[in-house]
Chains A and B, each alone.
Chain A
Amino acid sequence: MANLDSTTTASAGTAVTAEERRQRVKKSLGARHRKERLFHGLGITAVVLALGFVGILFYDVLQRGLPAFQQAQVTVDVYFDPEIIELGERPVQAAGQSPADYRAALNAWLRDAALANWNLVLETSIRNIVPEFQGSAREIAAIIDSSQRFVIRDAFTNDPSLLGQTREFALLASANADNWLKGTIDRSLPDARQQLSADARALADDLLERGEIRFAFASHLFTNVDSRSAPASAGLAGAFMGSLYMMLIVIVLAVPIGVASAVYLEEFAPKNRLTDVIEITINNLAAVPSIVFGLLGAAVFINYFRLPLSAPLVGGLVLTLMTLPTIIIATRSSLRAVPPSLRQAALGLGASRTQMVFHHVLPITYPGILTAAIIGVAQALGETAPLLLIGMNAFVANIPSSPMDQASALPVQIYLWQGNENRNFFEARTSAAIIVLLGLMLSLNAIAIFLRSRLEKRK
């Protein structure tokens, strides 16, 4: 605005004519307009950069993660060879046999079934497809995920009549074979640096060419739990259940408590010391770093109350305390948006304050409260750091059946997978898990936005 200043000071002087002034303004005008365009351009650049980050992040995650939803599967006709599986009939509970005896007999039978050489069953089945393959059993085992022998065993123990018969199975290829076939590993690396031996690689290529290996949707990603020994079969089910339990706890605890305190502070609270302190602490709590809540959980819930480590119960409690301020603040603002005339009308007709709040004010704010709850839950769903401090990053190989069981959570599973040594395979896995998490978060947010827009229209 230096130019503006000079024109104004010039006009204050006496010797400048109007014509001269116009000339001066005109002369500086070009430069000022250039600056204006530059500034405008900078604004657009900033917006484009910000949106560009969103775009690049989503594109990057999608492009890395989508391949992991496809998994190489070997279609094999498995022959349950009675010569390899030397097993008698599955015991049946005889009349008069006590349940304990039956259990013992069944367990013995199951133990024998577990001891059968399932690797050999798999190996012969594969050799039947490629009779000319001369490589060792190890190479065949290397391209099939090590969990798959249990798949066959379980199929057999559930249906012992399979003995001597043939049934088709779609078995998961091992992580290394999957990498090799997808090209996520550099194919030109020398033998010494490849995960699979040359024979195994050739076998995998051969099977793919014959159409015995196909890429199918990796549904086990959603139905299996995490696995260390058999990476290809690792899935999100355990973490998903852990997250679900925690969200349930957050919904059951944080939403009612949050709404109740918002109602108290907004509608009933007298202006005194106590309510001032409550207000200030809620605002401060909203800004406390999440990891501090993790420290609170570790010290109070785990060390003092001796609640179990790695349990969704503790995680849920920590996340509840963390999301409370969010829910309180959002609920208060939607309570504040209710027109005072409504309150006065209710009071004027003889309703008590409590009746006014619970019968008239609160029902109007339901969409707003729901929005607040969803935002709070979405925030809790994505939180990782406090969960690490209460041990939810422990490896858990079961789907938790109650909130007291050990479990993981979706974001923690992402953290665990990104640290896995099998980089080539788990980078895609991690991105796939991120896609699932982002999908959940975005749908939650979409619901919140939809509710908010409906609320705004009604007003």
Chain B
Amino acid sequence: MNTLIITALILAFLGIAYQTGSSRSRALAGTSGRRLHSRPSYHGSAIAIWTLVPLLLVLGAWALLDSYVIRTFITWYLPESLVAEGGNALRASIARVEALATGYGVVGEVQEFERTAAQAVGRFQTTAFLIVVAAATTLAALGLFYARKRITPQFRARNEVEGAVRLLLLACSVVAILTTFGIVASLLTEAMRFFSFVNPLDFFFGTVWNPRFSTTGAGGGGEYGLIPLLWGTIQITIIAILTAVPIGLMAAVYLSQYAKPRVRSVVKPLIEVLAGIPTIVYGFFALVTVGPFLASFGDAIGVDIRATSALTAGIVMGVMIIPFISSLSDDIIRQVPTAMRDGSLGLGATKSETIRRVILPAALPGIVGAILLAVSRAIGETMIVVLAAGNSPVLRFNPFEPTSTITVSIVNQLTGDSDFAGPQSLVAFALGLTLFVLTLVLNVGALYIVRRFREQYD
């Protein structure tokens, strides 16, 4: 109902404002005999902006404050003892009053103070809504009249509209900054809360990961040592890189130096299909196919390989990052000037000699950058390891045994848990912060290397 009224209000003002602006400017153009600076549609848009911005500001502010104001209002009606106590009891009681006010009713007997509070809230909500709508309408009307008065032949409506458009575009690009800020702020604040339970030294240098889930919430012992998770992450990343780099690099070399254009145009997109497959699919594939295959292969050669192990997750993750390595290396190899290549070939070197001795060394920094990007992908990858690494957060050096990673532990600690009261769930943010910093450092390093390398031949 309210949404409908508000939508109607906005649309009505939009229509009136635009119509006023364009018809007024048309009339002016007819009577004054002078050429207007802007076309009527710009005058219309300018007025629309002057009308809608105050309207939306008021409504937006109310949307943000609404629930907070109503909650504060409710607490005035609740018994003082309840308010003083705070916590869950107060929250539950406010929720009951809100439910009563909407008319749905609540479970259990309604107490007297709840009934009066609910009635008061009902009246308050209606009044508040009317006040907000009235304020918004008044401001919008004021904006409309002010903007209408400004219409003269000299008025630069187009410039004003374009300025507003540019501001809007800028606001959109600021979303990226806001997101980054949100990530950093939420990770930091929650991680700080975690560190109020657990000593940071114990977290960063502890070698035991055992976050004993306890029902008591706050407190609740447990050991939160990062080292086993970090090692598991590194181990799987190493295996993934060992799988992906030879295959990806050789594929890039082959496609850029040997393959005919037609072969290349078919094979390249096919390899890139690997990058588009959702990681949950890789995880399932690792769990039901690669793992059992590796285990039976291990049986055949007399090595004990577990079906869910660092090896399984690492190999499948390696397959996943092949396309990153191959297409990035491909780009970089193609950037090596042909003069270098032709010079080597002209001196009588074979193609492979040219590639190994001239092209690859020249492309090396770029390739290292590509590998670093792939490493950061591997470190942040979640679903493959959740399914295929076996989730065993113990410090072990045998890659044939199950292991666990930072990302797996984040999922385990936070899944389905929205109450960030104890270290059990808060530790996820400390882990997330570690992950964020790790990948950030790798990415910045990779970009730095790639960029420096590119400048050499430009």
Binding site for B on A (CB under 8 A): 1, 4, 32-33, 35-36, 38-40, 42-47, 49-51, 53-54, 56-57, 60-61, 64, 256-258, 260-261, 263-265, 268-269, 275, 277-278, 281-285, 287-296, 298-300, 302-304, 306, 309, 321, 324-325, 328, 352-354, 378-379, 381-385, 388-389, 391, 393-394, 411, 414-415, 418, 427, 430-431, 434, 437-438, 441-442, 445, 449
Residues of B within 8 A of A45 (CB): 250
Residues of A within 8 A of B67 (CB): 306
Q: Taking chain B's interface residues, is the majority helix, strand, or loop, or is none over half, making it mixed?
A: helix
Q: Is the CB of B177 within 8 A of A264?
A: no
User: Known interface pairs A281-B180, A302-B418. Does A292 touch B258 (Cβ–Cβ under 8 Å)?
Assistant: no
Residues of A within 8 A of B414 (CB): 294-295, 298, 389
Q: Is the CB of A289 within 8 A of B380?
A: yes
User: Known interface pairs A288-B439, A299-B186. Does A283 touch B447 (Cβ–Cβ under 8 Å)?
Assistant: yes
Residues of B within 8 A of A434 (CB): 281, 284
Residues of B within 8 A of A40 (CB): 254, 258, 351-352
Give B255's nearest chain A residue, CB to CB: A47
CB of B391 within 8 Å of the partner chain = no
Residues of A within 8 A of B270 (CB): 51, 54
CB-defined interface of B335-349 with A at 8 Å, one 1/0 digit per residue? 000000000000111
CB of B379 within 8 Å of the partner chain = yes
Q: Taking chain A's interface residues, is the majority helix, strand, or loop, or is none over half, making it mixed?
A: helix
Q: Is the CB of B277 within 8 A of A438?
A: yes
Q: Which residue, of B255, B284, B440, has the highest number of chain A Cβ atoms within 10 A? A: B284
CB of B120 within 8 Å of the partner chain = no
CB of B373 within 8 Å of the partner chain = yes
| Interface size range on B against A | 35 or more
A220 to chain B, nearest CB (A): 22
User: Known interface pairs A47-B251, A47-B254, A303-B418. Does A33 touch B350 (Cβ–Cβ under 8 Å)?
Assistant: yes
B440 to chain A, nearest CB (A): 6
How far, in angstroms, from A284 to B410 measured CA to CA in the complex?
21
Residues of B within 8 A of A449 (CB): 269
How far, in angstroms, from A261 to B174 measured CA to CA in the complex?
8
Residues of B within 8 A of A32 (CB): 350, 353
A311 to chain B, nearest CB (A): 12
Q: Is the CB of B418 within 8 A of A64?
A: no
B13 to chain A, nearest CB (A): 22
Q: Is the CB of B271 within 8 A of A300?
A: no
How far, in angstroms, from A113 to B39 measured CA to CA in the complex?
70
Residues of A within 8 A of B180 (CB): 281, 284-285
Q: Is the CB of A324 within 8 A of B416?
A: no
Give A441's nearest chain B residue, CB to CB: B276
Set B158, B274, B278, B289: member contacting A437, Cβ < 8 A:
B278
How far, in angstroms, from A214 to B168 measured CA to CA in the complex?
61
Q: Is the CB of A292 within 8 A of B183?
A: yes
Q: Would you list 23 pairs from A and B whose C-beta atoms are within 8 A, ordered by A residue?
A: A1-B349, A35-B352, A36-B350, A39-B351, A43-B258, A46-B247, A53-B319, A54-B270, A268-B169, A278-B173, A284-B443, A287-B443, A288-B380, A288-B440, A289-B436, A296-B179, A299-B429, A382-B281, A384-B383, A389-B414, A411-B278, A442-B276, A449-B269
The B382-417 residues at the A interface (CB cut-off 8 A) are: 382-383, 386-387, 407, 410-411, 414-416
CB of B454 within 8 Å of the partner chain = no
B378 to chain A, nearest CB (A): 10
Set B179, B186, B249, B271: member contacting A285, Cβ < 8 A:
B179
Residues of B within 8 A of A264 (CB): 166, 169-170, 172-173
Set B190, B248, B269, B382: member contacting A289, Cβ < 8 A:
B382
How far, in angstroms, from A281 to B175 measured CA to CA in the complex?
10
How far, in angstroms, from A43 to B420 measured CA to CA in the complex?
52
A124 to chain B, nearest CB (A): 41
CB of B93 within 8 Å of the partner chain = no
Set A57, A265, A302, A418: member contacting B173, Cβ < 8 A:
A265
Set A54, A292, A354, A430: member contacting B273, Cβ < 8 A:
A54
CB of B381 within 8 Å of the partner chain = yes
Q: Is the CB of A324 within 8 A of B254?
A: no
CB of B288 within 8 Å of the partner chain = yes
How far, in angstroms, from A277 to B176 measured CA to CA in the complex?
10
How far, in angstroms, from A394 to B186 measured CA to CA in the complex?
24
Residues of B within 8 A of A289 (CB): 376, 379-382, 407, 435-436, 439
